[in-house]
Structure 1
Amino acid sequence: MKIAVWDTYVEREDGITMHFDILVPKELTDEGRIFSYGQQYLGTKTFKTGTLTSNECRFCHIQSVQTEVEDEIRTKGYYIVEMENCS
């Protein structure tokens, strides 16, 4: 499966910037839907964060993914890769 990687940086309430990627099927181009996936993810955090808009989240590139990531994207619609300051 080819997926689109959306590079995302969101400021936490403590001023630290979170960095994570939102992975979606490459055919999905609806930014509002992609941002809603990011908001769903941010809603699972125990700390507050800033808003997620096109200023914080941008298309980066297309790539292939491993089977377990592909399975979650098929089930949930997206997959999050935590990069920095996500805990």
Structure 2
Amino acid sequence: MKVAVWDTYVHREDGLIMHFDILVPNNIVDEKTIFEYGRTYLKAKPFKTGNLTSNECQFCHIEQATEAIIINIEKAGFHIIEMEHCN
């Protein structure tokens, strides 16, 4: 499965900036849908964050998904790769 990678940076209430990628099937191009996936992820965090809009989240590239990513996408519609200040 080919996935689109959306590079995302969101401010946390403590001043840190979260950096994570939102991965979706490459045929999903509606930004509102992708941003809603990101908001769903952020709602599960134990701390408050800023907004998630096109200022914080932008398409980066297409890549081949691993089996674990495919399983998550089949369950939730998206997959998150946490990189910085996500916990």
Deviation at 1:71, TM superposition (A): 1.2
Give the secondary-structure state (helix, strand or coil) at the position aligned to 2:6: strand
In structure 2, C-alpha distance between the alignment counterparts of 1:73 and 1:48, rounded to whole Å = 25
In structure 2, C-alpha distance between the alignment counterparts of 1:23 and 1:55, rounded to whole Å = 17
Over the aligned positions, Cα root-mean-square deviation in angstroms equals: 0.5
* Percent of residue pairs bearing the same amino acid type: 59
**Which one-letter code corresponds to 1:28 in the other structure?**
I
**Which is worse superposed, 4-13 or 63-72?**
63-72
Deviation at 1:60, TM superposition (A): 0.1
TM-score by length of 2: 0.98
Aligned to 1:72: 72
The answer for unaligned runs of 5 or more in structure 2 is none
**Which one-letter code corresponds to 1:73 in the other structure?**
I
Aligned to 1:52: 52
Please state if 1:2 is matched with 2:13: no
Structure 1 ranges of 4+ moved more than 3 A: none
The answer for unaligned runs of 5 or more in structure 1 is none
In structure 1, C-alpha distance between the alignment counterparts of 2:59 and 2:85, rounded to whole Å = 20
Please state if 1:85 is matched with 2:80: no
**Which one-letter code corresponds to 1:12 in the other structure?**
R
Aligned to 1:31: 31
